[in-house]
Structure 1
C-alpha cells in the first residue's frame, strides 16, 4: 500500500477545495495517509479524513502522545533526545514521515519553514512532493532542485531570509545543484 505524507503550515486552518479533491483521490485509491499531530493543516487533514471515514491513517508524534489524534487512529511515537517543545523535537517526527512515505502532499502558506523543510527532506530522498501554494491556489510538483527554486520564488523576501536563517535554504539549493552537476 502506498503511503502519502500529508503536512502543511500551522497557520492554515481550512482546507481549500483543491486540496480536498486531492485527498479524495488518495482515499479512493486506498492509500495510507501518514500525518502529524500539530494544529493547523495536520488537524484539518485529520478532521477531513474523519468526514471521509478514512481507516488507513497513521498519526506521527514526537514523544509519548500526540497533541491531536482526532480519529483515534494508530500512532507512531518517534523517540528523540531533543528537548520537548523545541523545533528539533517536532522535526524528528517529520524526518521519520519523510523516510516512511512514498509521496508527499503539502499545503503551504509561502512562509512556513516546517513545510518547506518537509519538501526538502522528500527531495533529499528522491521522493516527489506536491505542494499546494495556498495563496496562489495552485499545485507545484517538487521533483528536482529547479522545482524547489520555483517554490521559494513564491516567498516574500523577509520569509526567504527567515528560511535561509533557519534552514540555510540557499546553501541547500546549491548543494542539490552540485549533486546534480556531479552526476554528469
Structure 2
C-alpha cells in the first residue's frame, strides 16, 4: 500500500478545495495517509479524514502523546533526545515520516520552514512531493532541484532569508546541484 505524507503550514486552517480533491484521490486509491499532530494543516486534514471515515491513517508525533489525533488512529510516537517544544523535537517526527512515505502532499503558505524542510527531506530521499502554494492557489511538483527553485520563487525576500537562516535552504539547493552535476 502506498503511503502519502501530508503536511503543511500551521497558519493554514482552511484547506483549499483543490487540495481536498487530491485528498479524495488518495482516499479513493486506498493509500495510507501519514499525518502529523500539529494544529493548522495537520489537524484540518485529520478533521477531513475523520468526516470521510478514513481508517488508513497514521498520526505521527514527537514524544509520548499526540497534540491532535481526532480519529483515534494508530500513532507513531517518535522518540527524540531533543528538548520538548523545540524545532528539533518536532522535526524528529517529520524525518521519520519522510522516511516512511512514498510521496508527499504539502500545503504551504510560502513562508513555513517546516513544510519547506519536509519537501527538502523528501527530495534528499529521491521522493517526489506535490506542494500546494496556498497564496497562489497552484500546485508545484517537486522531483528535482529545479522544481525546488521554482517553488521558492513564490517566497518573499524576507521569508527566503528567514528560511535560509533556519534550515540552510540555499546551501541545501547548492548541495543538490553539486550532487546532480557530479553524476555527469
Which TM-score tier does this pair reach, normalised by the shorter chain?
over 0.9
Shift in Å, 1:51: 1.2
- Whole-Å separation in 1 of the counterparts to 2:170 and 2:62: 28
- Note the alpha carbon deviations across 1:58-100, whole angstroms, 9 max, x for none: 0000000100000000000000000000000000000000000
- Whole-Å separation in 2 of the counterparts to 1:49 and 1:136: 25
- Whole-Å separation in 2 of the counterparts to 1:68 and 1:36: 8
- With normalisation by structure 2, the TM-score equals 1.00
RMSD after superposition: 0.3
Q: Is 1:176–2:179 an aligned residue pair? A: no
- Note the alpha carbon deviations across 1:90-145, whole angstroms, 9 max, x for none: 00000000000000000000000000000000000000000000010000000000
Alignment of 1:108-127 (within 5 A): 108-127=108-127
Shift in Å, 1:168: 1.1
- Whole-Å separation in 2 of the counterparts to 1:173 and 1:88: 21
- Whole-Å separation in 1 of the counterparts to 2:167 and 2:57: 29
Q: How many residues align?
A: 184
- Counterpart for residue 27 of structure 1: 27
- Whole-Å separation in 1 of the counterparts to 2:21 and 2:179: 35
- Counterpart for residue 14 of structure 1: 14
> What secondary structure, in the 3-state scheme, does the structure 1 residue paired with 2:96 have?
helix
Question: 4+ runs of 1 displaced by more than 3 Å?
Answer: none
- Counterpart for residue 93 of structure 2: 93
> What secondary structure, in the 3-state scheme, does the structure 1 residue paired with 2:140 have?
strand
- Whole-Å separation in 2 of the counterparts to 1:146 and 1:46: 31
Alignment of 1:22-101 (within 5 A): 22-101=22-101
